[in-house]
Homo-oligomer: A and B are copies of this chain.
Amino acid sequence: MTYCLAINVNDGLVLCSDSRTNAGTDNVSVYSKMHTFIWPGQRFFVLLSAGNLATTQAVVKKLNNDIPAGLAPNLLTVNSMQEAADYLGVVSTQVQKLHTSRDTATTSFEATFVFGGQIAGQAPEMFMVYPQGNYIHESREHPFLQIGEIKYGKPILDRVVKRDVSLERAARCALVSMNSTIRSNVTVGPPVELLIYERDSLGEGRRIYFSEDDPYARQLSERWNEGLMKALQDLPPFPWETETKTAEDDGRVLNFPSNA
């Protein structure tokens, strides 16, 4: 399994991916699921991938090779992020069709991508590209995209991530979302890769690699646990916890507005 997420805030993009791949539970490996394509000052693209690893690798290879081969469109000729997403969708379905045509079983060659970036003079954007090659844009109300094992890490994003969150806070939120997923599902695992791209920087961004025993990642996880315990302590008590018990309070709820 996989968990990747991307957040698009006013200040830029945050991208985060785990590195665990498996072909059966007894064949677990580590592969990066974050691929960058950068022309400093001109264009910055990053690809997060989930699904068939051979498909993903073939797609990345073709994105890289189409440029020197002079095939158009390619990542240097596309005029917008949407054209780039469209191109990625075409490449992905071509690869899947090729692999399917050689298949002797009923293998799934599907891969899903989050594709984000910025072209000089345009706004940063990101898309989720489905195995069918079509894609969706993130929304203003919901400025994040997730692929893979998305459910464990979604509540924190739903509650916290808005466009006006700072880049660093969005990055910490992404790490918490990833950390929760790793704790709850063994098929998602470290190392974790994080990329923080400042809007209009058109550079490499800050790319950070958190190994399993990384001290910052451990500190973040511990501090988050402490924060959750604190948040839990601060929740409003039930009415009977603050009331003086009376003879009538025999275990049923008294004076409780919503008691049924």
Contacts and interface: CB of A to CB of B under 8 A. Distances in A.
Interface of A: 151-156, 158-160, 168-169, 171-173, 176, 180-181, 183-185, 198, 201, 203-211, 214-217, 219-220, 223-232, 234-241, 250-253, 256-260
Given A154-B184, A258-B215, A235 B206 contact: no
Given A204-B251, A208-B258, 17 more contacts: A154-B184, A158-B180, A159-B180, A172-B232, A173-B232, A203-B250, A203-B251, A207-B253, A208-B253, A208-B259, A216-B236, A217-B258, A220-B236, A224-B235, A227-B228, A227-B234, A227-B235
A209 B171 contact: no
A45 B246 CA distance: 27
Contacts of A201: 251
A201 to B, nearest CB: 6
13 contacts: A156-B228, A158-B184, A159-B183, A159-B228, A168-B238, A176-B232, A206-B251, A206-B252, A207-B253, A208-B258, A211-B258, A227-B230, A227-B231
A176 to B, nearest CB: 7
B232 A231 contact: no
A152 B151 CA distance: 5
Given A215-B257, A235-B220, A228 B160 contact: yes
